[in-house]
Amino acid sequence: MRNAISGWWLGLIMMACSGKIIAQPCTSLGQNPETAFPVCGTAVFTQSSVNICGNTPVPSRCPGNLFTDKNPYWYKFTCFQSGTLGFTIRPNNLGDDYDWQLFDVTGRNVRDVYTDVNMFVACNWSGDPGITGASAAGTSLVRCEGPGVPLFSSMPLITQGRQYLLLVSHFTDSQSGYSLTFGGGTASITDPTEPHVQSAFASCDGAIISVKLNKKMKCSSLVLNGSDFTLSPATRTIISAVGIGCNSSFDTDSIVLTLSGPLTPGLYNVTMANGNDGNTLLDNCDRAIPVGETVPLNVFPIEPTPMDSLTPPGCAPAFLDLVFRKNIRCTSIAADGSDFSITGPYPVSITGASGFCGAGVTRKIRVQLASPMQRAGSFQLTLRRGSDGNTLVDECSQESLAGQQLIFRVSDTVNADFQYTINKDCTIDVVNYSHNGANGVNSWLWQFGVDAPNSSLQNPSIAYTVFGIKTTSLIVSNGVCSDTSRAQINLDNYLEARIDGPLFICPTDRPAFRDNSIGNVRSWNWDLGNGNTSNVRNPLPQTYTLGSGSYDVTIRLIVTDDIGCKDTATLVSKVVSNCTIDIPSAFTPNNDGLNDFLYPLNAFKAKDLKFSVYNRFGQRIFYTENWLNKWNGYFKGKPADTGTYVWMLQYTEIDTNKAVFKKGSVLLLR
């Protein structure tokens, strides 16, 4: 297992009788998937120290390996532009070993990262210390344990609109921290939405103001005395500010301001100001809401609260979210959803309704549908008296009037399945891709991997010069609904002629030459170098005339595939006059061109050959496993002494597969 247990770590975790590791719970924010740090592509995140905890198993794509989130911190982000993701984890102590794994958690319970390997995107569990991450220098998305494993993985491809979790696991048992930076890839994880204050609402008695932000912003940038906000007319002062959810998260989009007393009905303004910390509220990219930005605050007289608005439904909505300008008592919401009805071009059934309740009130009510709305249409949501005998009752005890309606529109779901045709050629295959554009699709993102750049055309054509299996994916969208499809396309018309046959032909041989070509071969044209030709795949064994010495013959094969493409291979074989393996009894290494070398003669039919030469002291002075490597009579760069030397030769006969051992002596003369 990657996270081996050191001695003092045993004081923090226990080994059960079965040998399984019992995890030490992580309680600090950021050390479990539910409370992951939100990160931004333009900011550097610094973790000065690492709490010791964790060791929960995490499934990976490393076969047979069990990794754990040892001393972990988790980071969450959304992809705002598809592309490659690059990042760097730099330990404060470069001798520390940090590991990481990336998960796609879109539409999933984040706890599933501990059980579902299909959420895996990329990892690096190298056993070496130092700087790690994902960069252009990486060559694999999966880097498993062990010393010498590269610390940088290749950059994973992430997709616009999907959510991701990054686990940083500190294998070294120290509390020294690290910095995390993003960059080098083509994807963007930086929310392009600038931070703003969105709206403000007063409580029933006007003593509390709820401020809604347009996105999540850092809890740490909120000053608790409320100095980030001013009220005008200043008939009351702001005495405190609390971020909803800040006790269990790093960011919030809702602020509660407490006033020094109730406001009388009328129109007010809530304005952003630099608080006592020197700034307004900051988003996760450290961008501030502009100083002086103002939203109106309407303190209403006590009267029934109308249905205010409906959050625009997403793709195939299974619920509808209603927003109110005043808090609604949660006890007034009929749990069976009977406070509401929906009419439109096709029937829609409601199965329940509930509020996002805090302190017994809510400004949002979720209406649960019996099934997702997958077809386009315009609908009306109507408020009525439910099974509890009332419509909705606000915090001021006022009941909303029945019969109010909100109109909303649902978009069609989309299908990314695509078609293709292949125009095959000998050197270039053209694949014509097409998508039908049904259900209002107006956006296409084709991804062809390394074979071609991405395309936004509806019907692109791609030329491939390298054949084989090609993986193509398509993401389509109609502005609300999106879908992804992938297909593997086999360009199987790669053609390469290959000949399998001997390199040497001995006097008694009748060599056979075989076709070993790659491709959909349909015809063969052999020239066998002896005047014979053949049109069968594997010709009959051939005979070659012996000459006064050895000579070369060229065997040629032309293959043709099913679409008429051709390729040619040649093999040069040497016809030799003698294949009897022998060692000379003497040789004269004097560079006169005659008998200058010692080697096994005619070892054309030998395999696994080993040839050694020993001097009179039993010292091996020459060794080779290639019979064409010849001893030149030298030892350690100097001419060997004249005299007798012992040789040993062992090999296996190719034809009989018989092992042979020979020993003899040779006289070196100069």
Per-residue pLDDT reduced to its tens digit, 395-428: 889 999 999 999 999 999 999 999 999 999 999 9
Q: Where are the beta strands (DSSP E) in 126-262?
A: 132-134, 142-143, 152-153, 157-158, 163-170, 176-182, 197-202, 208-218, 229-232, 238-243, 251-259
Does 257 have pLDDT greater than 90? yes
Give pLDDT, residue 326.
82
Q: Could you give the CA distance from residue 178 to residue 131 in angstroms, rounded to a whole number?
A: 9
Q: Secondary structure of 311-351 in the HEC alphabet?
A: CCCCCCCCEEEEEEEEEEEHHHCCCCCCCEEEECCCCCCEE
Which of 275, 266, 267 minimizes the C-alpha distance to 238?
275
Q: In sequence order, which residues have a C-beta less than 8 Å from that of residue 102 and are 6 or more positions away?
A: 85, 120, 121, 122, 123, 134, 156, 164, 165, 166, 167
Number of H helices and number of E strands within the chain?
0, 51
Which of 1, 17, 50 minimizes the C-alpha distance to 175?
50
Q: Could you give the CA distance from residue 622 to residue 630 in angstroms, rounded to a whole number?
A: 9
Q: Which residues pair with 420 in a beta bridge?
A: 433
* 197-299 and 309-410 in the same fold: yes
- At 499-525, the pLDDT tens digits run 999 999 999 899 999 999 999 999 999
Q: Which 8-state DSSP code applies to residue 664?
A: E
Q: Could you give the CA distance from residue 288 to residue 277 in angstroms, rounded to a whole number?
A: 12
Give pLDDT, residue 484.
95
* Domain spanning 197-299, CATH class: mainly beta
Q: Which residues pair with 663 in a beta bridge?
A: 648
Average confidence (pLDDT) over 327-342: 97
> Is the whole model's pTM more than 0.75, yes or no?
no
CA 341 to chain CA centroid, Å, is 44
Give pLDDT, residue 14.
34
- At 209-221, the pLDDT tens digits run 999 999 999 999 9
Does 456 have pLDDT greater than 60? yes
Which of 317, 315, 300 minimizes the C-alpha distance to 381?
317
Architecture per CATH, domain 8-182, reads as Sandwich (2.60)
DSSP states along 381-401: EEE---TTS-S-BBTTSPBPP
* Domain spanning 419-491, CATH class: mainly beta
- At 336-393, the pLDDT tens digits run 999 999 999 999 999 999 999 978 999 999 999 999 999 999 999 999 999 999 999 9
3-state secondary structure of 11: helix
Does 276 have pLDDT greater than 50? yes
Tokens 């439109």 found at: 344
- At 6-50, the pLDDT tens digits run 332 333 333 333 333 445 789 899 999 999 999 999 889 999 999
DSSP states along 557-606: EEEEETTS-EEEEEEEEEE-S----B--SEE--SSSSSS--B--BTGGGE
Tokens 């921290």 found at: 177
- At 607-653, the pLDDT tens digits run 999 999 999 999 999 999 999 999 999 999 999 999 999 999 999 99
Q: Could you give the CA distance from residue 170 to residue 154 in angstroms, rounded to a whole number?
A: 21
Give pLDDT, residue 632.
96
Protein fold of 586-668: Immunoglobulin-like (2.60.40)
Give pLDDT, residue 97.
95
Q: Which residues pair with 623 in a beta bridge?
A: 612
Locate the domains of the chain by residue range. 8-182, 197-299, 309-410, 419-491, 499-575, 586-668
Q: In sequence order, which residues have a C-beta less than 8 Å from that of residue 314 and are 6 or more positions away?
A: 480
- At 159-180, the pLDDT tens digits run 999 999 999 999 988 889 999 9
Q: Could you give the CA distance from residue 486 to residue 475 in angstroms, rounded to a whole number?
A: 9
Q: In sequence order, which residues have a C-beta less than 8 Å from that of residue 15 and are 6 or more positions away?
A: 5, 21, 22
Q: Could you give the CA distance from residue 573 to residue 162 in angstroms, rounded to a whole number?
A: 61
| Bond into 233 cis (ω within 30) | yes
- The verdict on domain 499-575 having CATH code 3.40.1260.10 is no
Residue type, 620: R
Architecture per CATH, domain 309-410, reads as Sandwich (2.60)
Give pLDDT, residue 6.
32
Q: Do residues 378 and 331 touch, judged by C-beta distance below 8 A?
A: no
Q: Could you give the CA distance from residue 562 to residue 523 in angstroms, rounded to a whole number?
A: 9
Does 474 have pLDDT greater than 70? yes
Give pLDDT, residue 590.
92
- The tokens for 286 are 């450290």
Which of 252, 60, 86, 78 minimizes the C-alpha distance to 180?
86
Taking CA 73 as the corner, what is the angle to CA 64 and CA 166, rounded to the nearest 5 degrees? 65
- At 530-544, the pLDDT tens digits run 999 999 999 999 999
Residue 111 has φ and ψ, to the nearest 5°, of -70, -15
Give pLDDT, residue 1.
37
Indicate the average pLDDT of the chain: 93
